[in-house]
A and B are shown apart, each in its own frame.
Chain A
């Protein structure tokens, strides 16, 4: 049974940084690509970036270039997403998701989400 277990909710100050973790289990970690998607309250889904752990390749959405870093720890099958220079508009639920390459690169398993509130 594939599971993606994310770290918990956080409250952050504007200008600070965020680091969310996502531990994968139930599958072969290095066989997959992982992505981060966020959802602001009452809004839709916004793709942030992806990582291919076996190659250590990352790609980021243009909106987050320069502020986001995604890393993978193969020893613990954990993905991390760091977002810096936080502002109130970054208040959102942050999801990690696994990519199924053979199915049109869909997101077939998702973490439970981590609510991040940016407030002074």
Chain B
């Protein structure tokens, strides 16, 4: 099974900062990588799919990039509403299975 290693596990930042979160895959695969935001007590919310496509309604300060084994979520200018936990996710069409990264908590610096 493909493993998704997400880093960092915690990130301290201030409003207005540029924030980058990385997911590395144990092997190369398609760009079927998604990113979700989760706030305490709530279900995850889809931000990015197919590595770089912004979900409808998601602010443009969120962007995704990457291919092969390394994928990145970037928040260009962190807003107060963005303090949350972020997860990457990969879909393996062969198995089929959905694999999540361990999560990155973005907290106030």
Smallest CB gap from B48: residue in A: A106
* B98 & A47 in contact (Cβ 8 Å cutoff): yes
A113 at the interface (CB under 8 A from B): yes
A110 with B43, Cβ < 8 A, contacts A103-B53, A105-B32, A105-B91 known:
yes
Binding site for A on B (CB under 8 A): 1, 30-34, 36, 43-46, 49-51, 53, 55, 87, 89, 91, 93, 95-103
What residues of chain A lie closer than 8 Å to B101, measured between beta carbons? Answer: 44
* B93 & A47 in contact (Cβ 8 Å cutoff): no
Binding site for B on A (CB under 8 A): 35, 37, 44-47, 50, 59, 61-62, 95, 97, 100, 103-108, 110-113
Smallest CB gap from A100: residue in B: B49
* A108 & B46 in contact (Cβ 8 Å cutoff): yes
What residues of chain B lie closer than 8 Å to A62, measured between beta carbons? Answer: 1
* B32 & A104 in contact (Cβ 8 Å cutoff): yes
* A37 & B98 in contact (Cβ 8 Å cutoff): yes
| A37, chain B: closest CB distance, angstroms | 7
* B100 & A35 in contact (Cβ 8 Å cutoff): no
How distant is the Cα of A107 from the Cα of B91 in the complex, in angstroms?
A: 10
